[in-house]
Chain A
Amino acid sequence: MKKTIANQRPSKCRQIRAHLHKAIRSHFGPDADWVQNHIGNCPRCQRRFASIGKVNLALSLVKSQPHKLDLLMRANTQAIGVLKRSLREAPKANTLKNMQPEPSLLERCSVYKRSVANVAACITILFLMKIGVFSFMDKFQTEGQKVITQYYVNQVGEDLANDIFTA
């Protein structure tokens, strides 16, 4: 029993930490309303935010700059060239000399992200139809309508209520 509690603890701690981080970010982060309101009226903070924005822009420009596809190959060839002869002649060295950067599994799967989302949406709709959620919603709607009609009958009389709901 103790063992299971001990096993559960780290995940719970992680969850709490994540919640705390989210809460702090939403209340005290740069996107919080009171911060945005202040920035809107304070020229000094506007300047500060603009300069931080410029740094972030420069960082994203540096990150988005592409290099030639053969750069890894060239770098590997040059680095292997100064290693010991035995390493230079190893079969792995030849593989490295012809190595090209490959996108990660996540990046490769991101191409199918939209179609996966569409399929998931279709499955969800089918599942909801299967368990009768839609018929239940219809029933819920008619029941609601009946309650509202009854309310109007009580408040303004049957004739007027009929006029409103039959129109």
Chain B
Amino acid sequence: MRGSAVSYGLIWDLAVCETVDKSQQWILSAMQKHGPELVTMLWRILGNEQDVCDAYQSTFLQLAHYQSRCKPEHTKAYIFRTASNVAVSMLRRKIAEKERLSTVVAKKPLRPLANELDSKYLQERLRGCIARLPEHLRSVITLRDLAELSYAQIGRMLGITAATARVYRCKAIQLLSVWMNKEKREKL
């Protein structure tokens, strides 16, 4: 009698497990659908392959544990915003670490003017400045320029109009240009 009760219990557990599994299959579908775009965006924000894998993993882990394992209403928006936030946090940590190390070890030699157009240096500076941007501007610039989404899509994701997204991008570019120029003058 007890044996049959245990086996019924096992069958019930298996059935529950099965339904949960089926309901979570959307995570893999989301990975298949948005994975390539997401990897591209993360690569452009971070510029390091291991960091990209870590940020990607963290994004899908957060998605799997979203509000008692339910599917968010706008999965794409959730994934992209989470990934962007995770990547920027990683970037900030990296920059802080670098600054701490540079003050501890020794002062770096000043870069000559000829290196101002050095590709790697420019990219690093841009990433540093993007990480410093206020959240609303940073979201627009990452989604528009690094994820290459349209203004309409960005508007829907952030809950703003396409025109507001355009204005935010313009402001972000202005701020970036001021900061990048300022850094250059400071270094000179």
Q: Is the CB of A96 within 8 A of B35?
A: yes
Of the four ranges (under 10, 10 to 19, 20 to 34, 35 or more), the interface on chain B belongs to: 35 or more
Any B CB within 8 A of the CB of A13: no
Q: How many A-B residue pairs have CB under 8 A?
A: 124
Given contacts A52-B173, A61-B122, are A76 and B180 in contact (CB under 8 A)?
Answer: no
Measured in the bound complex, the distance between the Cα atoms of B33 and A92 in whole Å is 12
Any chain A CB within 8 A of the CB of B150? no
Q: Given A68-B49, A86-B17, are A79 and B25 also a contact pair (CB < 8 Å)?
A: no
The DSSP consensus for interface residues of chain A is: helix
Number of A residues with CB within 8 Å of any CB on chain B = 38
A2 to B96, CA, bound (A): 62
Bound together, the chains give a CA A58 to CA B118 distance in angstroms of 10
Task: Write out, one digit per residue, whether chain B residues 159-188 have a CB within 8 A of any chain A CB (1) or not (0).
Answer: 000000000000001101110110000000
Residues of B bordering A, CB below 8 Å: 17, 20-21, 24-25, 27-29, 31-32, 35-36, 39-40, 42-44, 47, 49, 52-54, 56-57, 59-61, 64, 117, 119, 122-123, 125-127, 145-146, 148, 173-174, 176-178, 180-181
Residue numbers in A under 8 Å from B52 (CB-CB): 67, 71, 75
- Chain A residues with a Cβ under 8 A of chain B: 47-48, 51-52, 54-59, 61-63, 65, 67-68, 71-72, 74-76, 78-84, 86-87, 90, 92-93, 95-96, 99, 101-102
